[in-house]
Amino acid sequence: MAIKATFVVFTTLLFFSLNRAQLSPETSTPPRALVAPLSLDPSTSQVTIPLDNDSYVLDLGGAIPWSFCHGLSSGLLLSCRARACLAAEQLPDACASPIGRPPLHQCYQANCVVWLHNPVANTCASSKLALKTVTLTPTNGLNPTGSVVFPHFISSCVPRRLLGGLAKGAKGLATLGPSELAIPSQLHARFGLRRKFALCLPSTPRAPGAAFFGSEPFYLLPPPGIEVSRRLLYVPLMTKPDGYYIQVQAITISLNGVNFNSSLLSRGTKLSTVHPYTTLATPIYKAFVETFNEATGGIPRVRAVEPFDVCLNTSKLGSTRVGLPVGPINLVLANGLNWVMVGANTMKQVSNDVACLAFVDGGMDAKNAILLGSYQMQDNFLLFDVGASKLGFTSSLLFQQTTCSNFNFTSASL
């Protein structure tokens, strides 16, 4: 309750303390939702999102958006007394010092200095909080409907070395975590958008997926359009300082249960867009692979291709509309609901005749028993309703004869 109260106070102050966002001539009223294209980087499998003319790696768990800044004016730096500086949270765990966790923010020459984490390279650096202007795209759910300028977007300026490991050309990290300074919270405070956002990750570098911030509807082609929010199933969504979690109760492969100690799942399953493949703690992973091998024993094995351990000869396997016919992998969630994962999300084609089970061993000391990676989210529509603490999901959109690359980014006729 204290956390929620703090959030309400902070966002109210942010809304009234900064100038109103500037609407373009074709956007005369505040938007109900914003949209942005999502791109798949073929080299790293990272998902990127544009802010103005720059590319940012998408991070579901990050607290503060950050980028490399060149020649930043001191007038855009936030002071230690700024509300945003006071709202800065504790150090990310990965940046904790051996003597404990000092406050995230501190002062240097009266400027607000924060510590930030690159989750890809697992590196940390101090940086300064600053204001920047970004141009965003409203939507009616069918098309983009103009533009809107956000003149006091809060981000952090990092040294170039913190960019290590990010997709080529990426200038920083676009953070969507539950933090008060992450992008969804800033958009809620600035535009009065509902506290929800949706991700539809693309499965190909050749066509973008989509991210939505705010309220439904969300339409995907083919005409007349599929209103995806009407087809969602909902499960409880848990928020922690490092991101979003759901409760997985069991796993089945081709309807056969994976046998492991279910108490390992008690801390929840984290959703991550910076980890390409789902990671399972070793006890779960071993049982998972054993069950998969039993379900697919008739398919010839080939030498493993890193980072995978199980690879199949698919030359005679054929394919279906939802990927290779290897049987579904189900995450059993609350209320008996299943997140159904088909071949398109469970098998990674590494060559013409070889596909590998796209799950990896996280080790005995894995922080998360299950960390759900971005490959398993591709062509799945996910609605993070943070205000209502629930996650809406579709399972694979291929069942509905559409994909995440089917939002119409052509501007609507005005």
CA 328 distance to own-chain centroid: 23
Q: What percent of the chain shows pLDDT beyond 90? A: 77
User: Which secondary structure element, helix H or strand E, spans residue 179, and what is its range?
Assistant: none
Distances (CA, A) of 108 to 77, 102, 111, 129, 162: 11, 15, 5, 11, 20
Q: What is the pLDDT of residues 157-204, one digit of tens each?
A: 999 999 999 999 999 999 999 999 999 999 999 999 999 999 999 999
Q: Residues 307-333: what's their mean pLDDT? A: 96
Distances 53 to 154, 169, 170, 411 between C-alpha atoms, Å? 17, 11, 11, 18
Question: What pLDDT does residue 69 have?
Answer: 85
Crossing angle of the two packed helices 2-17 and 183-191, in degrees rounded to 10: 60
Architecture of domain 2-193: Beta Barrel (2.40)
In our burial notation (b when 16+ CB lie closer than 10 A, e otherwise), range 127-154 reads bbbbbbebbbbbbebbbbbbbbebebbb
Antiparallel, parallel or unpaired: β 170-175 and 54-59: parallel
Query: Is the pLDDT assigned to residue 19 strictly greater than 60?
Result: no
Residue pLDDT, tens place only, 101-116: 555 567 878 889 888 9
Residue 290 pLDDT more than 60? yes
Phi, psi of 199 (to 5 degrees): -125, 135
DSSP H/E element including 187: helix 183-191
- Residue linked to tokens 């008739």: 298
Above 90 in pLDDT, residue 306?
yes
Q: Binning pLDDT at 50, 70 and 90, where does residue 413 land?
A: very low
Among residues 197, 222, 223, the alpha carbon closest in space to that of 210 is found at 197
DSSP letters, 196-214, are EEEEE--S-TTS-EEEEEE
- Domain limits, the chain: 2-193, 233-406
CATH code for the part of the protein at 233-406: 2.40.70.10
Would the CATH topology of 2-193 be identical to that of 233-406?
A: yes
Please tell me the predicted confidence (pLDDT) of residue 6: 41
State the pLDDT at residue 22. Answer: 53
**What's the start-to-end Cα distance of the chain, in Å?**
44
CB atoms within 10 A of CB 52: 11
- 356-412 residue pLDDT tens: 999 999 999 999 999 999 999 999 999 999 999 999 999 999 999 999 999 999 976
Mean pLDDT score, 114-128: 92
2 vs 8, 82, 189, 274, 330, CA distance in Å? 10, 21, 18, 30, 36
CB 213 within 8 A of CB 221: no
Q: Is the pLDDT of residue 12 over 60?
A: no
